[in-house]
C-alpha cells in the first residue's frame, strides 16, 4: 500500500512533479474547438449562400419592370397582393421576396437547425460529449459555448449575405438603403437564431438529435406557411402573431428598418429557449 | 480512518430507469492510494455506478462522495482531480488524435499537455491520424492517455483494457503501478477477473445492482478456484477422489475426473499420482462461472480477517 501523503504537498514522482492546484478549462476552449471543427463546413456554406443571394440580387437588373406591372395587372384582383407579386415592383420588395424572405432564411435555417441539433444532442447520443462534459468544465459552460458557436456561425452566414447584397445594391444602383440592409440582416439573424435556439433547447432537454431536428423543422416550416397564409386568407392576419417569419418580415425591414416589436419577440424566443435549456441540461442524466 | 483517506464512498446507492432498477443499494469504500477492482458480469451495474461517480447520472436514492465531495456539487474543480475513462468510447472527430488530446488538455487548463507525446509513444499511437479513422484499440489508447496525462489524484476507469492487445495491457498495468507509486488512487472496472487480479489490491464484485463480495484479490482467487480435468489410462473409482480437501463438483466418467478445486492441489495430485495420468489440465475459473454456481457471500457474513496464506489452503 502506498505511503499516505498529506494533501497539498507536491511530490516528485518518477515522471515529474504533479501540480496539486486544480486546473480547470479556460473559458472559450469549447467554443474555439467547435468553430475549428466547423471551419470547412462554414466556409462552404458561406460561399453557397453568398452565391445564391448574389444571383438573385443580380437578377434585379434583368427584371423588366414594365412587364412585371403588366403581369400584376392581368391577375385577378387581390391574388397578386396575396402572392406577393405586387412587391416585385420595388427593389426592396424584390429583395425581400427572394433573398430575405425565402432563399436566405431557408438556406441559413437548414445549416443552423442541423448544427443546433447535432452540437449538443447529436454529440450526446453518439457518446462524444462524455469526455468533454467530464473534463474540468461545467455542463453549463459546455452548453453555452456550443450555443455561442451556433450564434457566431449564423452571424457569419448572414454577414456573407449582407455583404454580397450590399455590394450588388451599390453596383447596380438599387434604391436600397444601408439602414434597410442592416435591419433586414439583423432580422434574418434573429429569425434563424430563434428557430435554431428552439432546436438547440429541444436537444438539451431531450438528448435526442432526431427530436430536436423535427421540432426545428416543424417550427420553421409551420412559421413559413403561417406567414404566407396570413396574406392569402381573409381574416388570416392573426396567424402573423404565431409566425417568427412574420415577426421578421411583416414590418418590411428593408424599407422601414428595424421593427422593434417583431425583433424583440424573436430575441425573446431565443432567450427563453436558452433559459429553459440550461437547467434542464444541468439536472438530467446524460447519455442514457 | 480519517475522511481524507476515503477517496470514494457510496452508501445505499440506488438508480432506477423507469421500472428497471439498475443499482439496488451499492455500498463502496475506496481508500486513498489503493488500486480497487470493480468486477461483475455485463449488466450488473458497473458502468452505472461509475457514471454516478462522475456525475453523468444522478442517483435515485443514496449518497456518493468522491474526494470528499458529492459529484453533483463538485464542479470543474473536482473534475480536474479525476481522470475518467468511459466504458464506451465514442470519438467521431475529424481532428487528429494529437489535436483531440490537446483539446482535452486545454479543458484541464493545459494540464497533461506535455505528457501526450510521451504516452503516445509508449502505446504506439500515431497522433497525426484522424480520430474517427482509428481502430477500436487505437481509440482506446486515446482514452487511456486522456485519463492519465494530467496525473490526477483519482483515476476512474471503466473496462480500460478493452480493445488493447496483451502487450498494451501490460503497458497499461505499468501505468497503473506508476500512478499508484505516485500516490494516486485507481478505481477500475472489468468483467474479467484475471485482468484485474494482477494489479488490484482489493476487489468488489457487483451483481444485479448490489455488492455481493468485497475481498483482497488473493481471497477472491481462492474462492474462485480452478477447474481441473485429469485423464487416466484406465477407469478409476470415484470414491478415491470424493471427499478430498478442496475438491467439489466431482464428475468421474470412465477414465476422466473433472472437478472444481479450491485451495491446495496437494491431496488431489497425490491421489491422482497413484494412477497413471495421461492428461491433465487446470484452468482458473472466471467470474461468470462463480455466478453460475450461485456463489454468493453476503457482505455482512464475510470475515474480513479471513487469512489466505500464499499457498492458498
The per-residue pLDDT for range A151-179, each reduced to its tens digit, is 999 999 999 999 999 999 888 888 888 99
Cβ atoms within 10 Å, residue A74? 8
**Does A3 sit within 8 Å of B90, measured CB to CB?**
no
Of A14, A26, A285, the CB nearest to B109: A26
CA dihedral sign of residues B108, B114, B116, B118: negative
Choose between B300 and A110: higher pLDDT.
A110
- Measured between beta carbons, the chain B residues lying within 8 angstroms of A37 are 93-95
Indicate the burial class of B53 (C-beta count within 10 angstroms; 0-12, 13-18, 19 or more). Answer: buried
Least confident of B1-10, B17-26, B101-110: B1-10
Taking an 8 Å cut-off on Cβ atoms, the answer to whether A18 and B79 are in contact is no
Q: Using the beta-carbon criterion (under 8 Å), do B178 and A134 form an inter-chain contact?
A: no
Q: Which of B35, B60, B103 to mutate to test the interface with A (most CBs of A within 10 A)?
A: B103
- Any idea how long chain B is? 313
- pLDDT of amino acid B306: 43
What are the structural domain ranges in chain B?
A: 3-221, 226-284
Choose among B32, B58, B86: nearest Cβ to A130: B86
Residue B230 Cα to chain centre, angstroms: 31
Q: What class has domain B226-284? A: alpha beta
Sheet of B202-207, strand order = B82-85, B154-158, B185-190, B35-39, B202-207, B210-216
pLDDT of A190 reads 97
Band the pLDDT of A71: cuts 50, 70, 90: confident
Q: Å from A116 to nearest chain B CA?
A: 17
- Do B193 and B213 contact (CB within 8 A), yes or no? no
Rounded CA-CA distance A153/A172 in Å is: 29
Q: Where residue A11 falls among pLDDT bands split at 50, 70, 90?
A: very low
Tell me how far CA of residue B284 lies from CA of A77, B227, B261, in angstroms: 91, 6, 10
The whole-chain average pLDDT of chain B stands at 88
Q: H helices of chain B, where?
A: 46-53, 71-79, 97-106, 116-123, 136-148, 166-181, 193-197, 217-224, 266-273, 287-292
Q: Between B77, B104, B182, which is nearest A13 by CB? A: B182
CATH number belonging to domain B3-221:
3.40.50.300
Do the chains contact at B88 and A37, CB–CB below 8 Å?
Answer: no
| Closest-CA residue of chain B to A18 | B151
Q: Which residue is associated with the grid cell 461509475?
A: B50
Q: For residue B109, what is the nearest residue in chain A, using CA coordinates?
A: A25
Helix, strand, coil percentages for chain B (3-state, nearest 5): 35, 30, 35
Backbone angle region of A24, left / alpha / beta, with phi > 0 → left and psi within -120 to 50 → alpha: beta
Element (DSSP H or E) covering residue B11: strand B6-17
For the entire predicted model, the pTM comes to 0.85
Distance CA A193, CA A113 (A): 9
Angle (CA) B284 B286 B288, round 5°: 155
What is the tens place of the pLDDT at every residue in A177-228? 899 999 999 999 999 999 999 999 999 999 999 999 999 999 999 999 998 8
| Residue in A with minimal Cα distance to B57 | A285
Find the residue in B nearest to A9 (Cα): B183
Q: Is A136 on the interface with B (CB under 8 A)?
A: yes
Amino acid at each position: 500500500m502506498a505511503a499516505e501523503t498529506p494533501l497539498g504537498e507536491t511530490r516528485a514522482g518518477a515522471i515529474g512533479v504533479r501540480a496539486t492546484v486544480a486546473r480547470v478549462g479556460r473559458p472559450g476552449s469549447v467554443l474555439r474547438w467547435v468553430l475549428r471543427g466547423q471551419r470547412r463546413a462554414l466556409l462552404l456554406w458561406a460561399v453557397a449562400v453568398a452565391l445564391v443571394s448574389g444571383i438573385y440580387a443580380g437578377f434585379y437588373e434583368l427584371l423588366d419592370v414594365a412587364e412585371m406591372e403588366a403581369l400584376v395587372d392581368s391577375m385577378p384582383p387581390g391574388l397578386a397582393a396575396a402572392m406577393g407579386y405586387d412587391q416585385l415592383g420595388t427593389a426592396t420588395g424584390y429583395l425581400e421576396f427572394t433573398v430575405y424572405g425565402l432563399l436566405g432564411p431557408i438556406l441559413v435555417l437548414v445549416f443552423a437547425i442541423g448544427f443546433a441539433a447535432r452540437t449538443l444532442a447529436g454529440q450526446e447520443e453518439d457518446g462524444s460529449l462524455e469526455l468533454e462534459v467530464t473534463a474540468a468544465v461545467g455542463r453549463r459552460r459546455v452548453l453555452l459555448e456550443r450555443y455561442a458557436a451556433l450564434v457566431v456561425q449564423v452571424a457569419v452566414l448572414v454577414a456573407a449575405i449582407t455583404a454580397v447584397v450590399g455590394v450588388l445594391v451599390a453596383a447596380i444602383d438599387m434604391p436600397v438603403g444601408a439602414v434597410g440592409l442592416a435591419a433586414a440582416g439583423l432580422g434574418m439573424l434573429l429569425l434563424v437564431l430563434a428557430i435554431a435556439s428552439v432546436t438547440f433547447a429541444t436537444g438539451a432537454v431531450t438528448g435526442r438529435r432526431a427530436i430536436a431536428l423535427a421540432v426545428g423543422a416543424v417550427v420553421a416550416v409551420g412559421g413559413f406557411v403561417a406567414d404566407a397564409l396570413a396574406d392569402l386568407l381573409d381574416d388570416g392576419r392573426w396567424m402573423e402573431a404565431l409566425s417568427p417569419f412574420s415577426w421578421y418580415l411583416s414590418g418590411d425591414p428593408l424599407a422601414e428598418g428595424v421593427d422593434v416589436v417583431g425583433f424583440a419577440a424573436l430575441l425573446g424566443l431565443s432567450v427563453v429557449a436558452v433559459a429553459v435549456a440550461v437547467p434542464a441540461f444541468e439536472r438530467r442524466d446524460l447519455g442514457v | 480512518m480519517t475522511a481524507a483517506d476515503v477517496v470514494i464512498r457510496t452508501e445505499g446507492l440506488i438508480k432506477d430507469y423507469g421500472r428497471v432498477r439498475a443499482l439496488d443499494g451499492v455500498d463502496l469504500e475506496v481508500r486513498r492510494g489503493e488500486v480497487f477492482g470493480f468486477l461483475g458480469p455485463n449488466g450488473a451495474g458497473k458502468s452505472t455506478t461509475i457514471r454516478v461517480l462522475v456525475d453523468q447520472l444522478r442517483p435515485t436514492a443514496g449518497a456518493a462522495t468522491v474526494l470528499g465531495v458529492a459529484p453533483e456539487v463538485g464542479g470543474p474543480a473536482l473534475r480536474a482531480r479525476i481522470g475518467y475513462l468511459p466504458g464506451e468510447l465514442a470519438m467521431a472527430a475529424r481532428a487528429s488524435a494529437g489535436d483531440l488530446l490537446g483539446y482535452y488538455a486545454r479543458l484541464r487548463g493545459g494540464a497533461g499537455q506535455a505528457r501526450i507525446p510521451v504516452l503516445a509513444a509508449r502505446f504506439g499511437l500515431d497522433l497525426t491520424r484522424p480520430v474517427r479513422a482509428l481502430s477500436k484499440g487505437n481509440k482506446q489508447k486515446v482514452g487511456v492517455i486522456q485519463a492519465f496525462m494530467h496525473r490526477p489524484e483519482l483515476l476512474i476507469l471503466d473496462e480500460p483494457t478493452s480493445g488493447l492487445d496483451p502487450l498494451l495491457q501490460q503497458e497499461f498495468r505499468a501505468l497503473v503501478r506508476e500512478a499508484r507509486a505516485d500516490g494516486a488512487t485507481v478505481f477500475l472496472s472489468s468483467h474479467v477477473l484475471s485482468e484485474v487480479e494482477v494489479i488490484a489490491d482489493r476487489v468488489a464484485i457487483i451483481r444485479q445492482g448490489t455488492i455481493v463480495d468485497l475481498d483482497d484479490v488473493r481471497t477472491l482467487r481462492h474462492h474462485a478456484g480452478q477447474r481441473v480435468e485429469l485423464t487416466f489410462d484406465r477407469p478409476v473409482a470415484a470414491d478415491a477422489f470424493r471427499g478430498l480437501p478442496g475438491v467439489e463438483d466431482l464428475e468421474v466418467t470412465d477414465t476422466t475426473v473433472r472437478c472444481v478445486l479450491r485451495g491446495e492441489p496437494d491431496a488431489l495430485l497425490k491421489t491422482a499420482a497413484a494412477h497413471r495420468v495421461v492428461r491433465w489440465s487446470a484452468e482458473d475459473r472466471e467470474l461468470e462461472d462463480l455466478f453460475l454456481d450461485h456463489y454468493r457471500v453476503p457482505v455482512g457474513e464475510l470475515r474480513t480477517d479471513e487469512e489466505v496464506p500464499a499457498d492458498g489452503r
